[in-house]
Amino acid sequence: MRYPNQILRVSWLVVLLCPLVAEGGSFSLNEQSVSGLGTAYAGGAAQAGDASTLYFNPAGIVLLDQGELQLGAQLIIPRATFSNQDSRYVLPGTPFDGLPLTGGNGGDASGPHVIPNFYLTQPVFRNTRYGDLSVGLGVSVPFGLETDHEPGWVGRYQALRTKLTTFDIQPTVAYRFLDRISLGAGLDIQRASARLTQSIDFGLAAQPLLGAFYAGLPAALAAQNVPPPLIGPTIAATQQAYANAGFLPGGRDGVAEVTGDDWSLGFTLGALLEYRKGGDDSFFQEGRFGVSYRSGIDHTLTGRGEFRGVPLITAPGAPVQFPVPGALQGVFFNQNASAQLDLPDILHFSIYQRFAHQFGLMGDIAWTHWSRLQTVPIVFENPGTPANVLDINYDDALRYSIGLEWYATQRLAWRIGFAYDETPIQGPVFRTPRIPDNNRYFLSTGFKWSVTHCMDIDLAYAHLFVAQPNVDLLLGAQGHLLRGNYDASVAIVSASTTLRWGGARAPPPGPGKGCSGLREGA
């Protein structure tokens, strides 16, 4: 069966145009398979039930005896609303210490998004002497994040909009030998792009400059022969004029936006051991262990830093004007910028066991090396523009899942799954509103309907219960303490279509085999 090039072009466009939201631990995206969603991605590295195995374990594609094309989409509907609890300035030794941060709660920082999946696999040969060989290609979205808070909200100095988009092109090859051991490898060609915006408290940023200016006014006024009784009122009037012009903490906000992108390379390795090969003579049929490793990928995102609303330090009606009104504009101006982003590697262990001919039980443990990501330094081309360092301070995290499939008939399979996903965030003092993540529980269900012998439709639904993410984040250099909590949850609805065609060898005769009759358990 041949598929036109238009299908591939459409798949590329879908991946490039879809925005993202983080639903795995932090901003890792588990949503790579509709069939996997139904079992909470349990057994992802061992099940090898369709072409989406290419992402979770590249060795699994060699267990597919027919060519497969799978197109899937997952609609993610998150909710993340913030409640302020005494957010304030922490500026010891200044008159501003303890002042409340102004602004609202920011509305719902999330919104519905679609994540696409595209997989193509093809057996090359099946040979009892030389083993089995398959190749494949996947286009996936392994990491993604988008949060968008309302302008003027209380946490605007920490975050306004955050968007990270990645997509992988993964050519893959897999080989099975001794009829039980399969090895696979894939190259991850990854593009990452990011956009970060936040408010800048220029009213606060001007205080050191104005403080030095006010401190020098007595001598300057005396040198201009201002009568001593008028010096104090003149200074007070000048300070009041600058306060009225907004040069107080929270009085003159601007916006900083940094955008950048990068291409980089990684790899994926996998192995499968089929410790049972099925048969009708026992309670247990086929069983498999699987392990896979997806490498970390380092990105140096390069792009632009833009600053909007940078004020002149002037005050109408001030008796004395600040002598360098463009001081802030000489530091905060549009220029090139770069950021280092180190994405984690992932180690995946899975088991799949079919029993009683109609059921499949699977389990999964995934370890994500999040401790690679400690900071994201954003460096500007101008050395005088202060770097913005995002302190992430992640810990490594584990994900546990268990799932069950019931093969009700040759044409219908039903799935259910549960997962517990740890957050890599160490606690409220490290939780940023850019990623209001926490530990989550994952309940899912789904089914597969084999419409014809060569076409399957998968549908799935999942709900994520997120432990309340508390925030107690202090931006030390600026003195902004954001304190409060998020109310968060996620719903996921997904669907995919899988098309199958011939194989490297003719399927055995009889029902339940190949595209001319459903493969048992498919």
Task: Residue 471: name the closest of 71, 76, 158 by CA.
Answer: 158
In whole angstroms, what is the distance from residue 376 CA to residue 54 CA? 30
Q: Which residues of 117-138 are buried (b: 16+ CB within 10 A; e: fewer)?
A: bbbbbbbeebeeeebbbbbbbb
Gyration radius from the chain CA atoms: 29
Classify strands 346-355 and 388-391 as parallel, antiparallel or unpaired. Answer: unpaired
Contact 184, 252 (CB under 8 A): no
Contact 496, 97 (CB under 8 A): no
Q: What angle do CA 282, 283, 289 make, to 5 degrees?
A: 100
Burial class (CB in 10 A: 0-12, 13-18, 19+), 94: middle
pLDDT confidence of residue 25: 60
Q: Which DSSP helix (H) or strand (E) runs through 13?
A: helix 5-17
Task: Residue 356: name the closest of 320, 396, 408 by CA.
Answer: 408
By three-state DSSP, how is residue 492 classified?
strand
Give the type of residue at 226: V
How far is the CA of 38 from the CAs of 11, 59, 116, 422, 445, in angstroms? 23, 22, 16, 20, 4
Give the type of residue at 403: G
pLDDT confidence of residue 417: 96
Task: Residue 461: name the closest of 50, 70, 38, 33 by CA.
Answer: 38
How far is the CA of 96 from the CAs of 204, 318, 478, in angstroms? 9, 22, 12
Q: Which DSSP helix (H) or strand (E) runs through 54?
A: helix 53-56
pLDDT confidence of residue 282: 83
Task: Residue 25: name the closest of 290, 325, 420 by CA.
Answer: 420
DSSP H helical ranges for 181-276: 202-205, 207-223, 228-244
pLDDT confidence of residue 7: 31
Task: Residue 289: name the closest of 493, 57, 17 by CA.
Answer: 57
Phi-psi group of 246: left, alpha or beta (phi > 0 → left; psi -120 to 50 → alpha; rest → beta): left
pLDDT confidence of residue 521: 36
Task: Residue 45: name the closest of 23, 26, 65, 30 by CA.
Answer: 30
pLDDT confidence of residue 145: 84
DSSP characters for 159-197? -SEEEEEEEEEEEEEEEEETTTEEEEEEEEEEEEEEEEE
* Tokens, residue 338: 């770069």
pLDDT confidence of residue 515: 60
* pLDDT per residue rounded down to tens, the chain (522 residues): 333 333 333 333 333 333 334 445 678 888 889 999 999 999 999 999 999 999 999 999 999 999 999 999 999 998 889 999 999 999 998 889 999 999 999 888 887 888 899 999 999 998 888 899 999 999 999 998 888 999 999 999 999 999 999 989 999 999 999 989 999 999 999 999 999 999 999 999 999 999 999 999 999 999 988 888 999 999 999 999 999 999 999 999 999 999 999 999 999 999 999 999 876 668 888 999 999 999 999 999 999 999 999 999 999 999 999 999 999 999 999 999 999 999 999 999 999 999 998 999 999 999 999 999 988 889 999 999 988 888 888 999 999 999 999 999 989 999 999 999 999 999 899 998 888 889 999 999 999 999 998 999 999 999 999 988 999 998 867 889 999 999 988 999 999 999 999 875 544 443 344 464 333 333
pLDDT confidence of residue 3: 36
In whole angstroms, what is the distance from residue 44 CA to residue 159 CA? 35
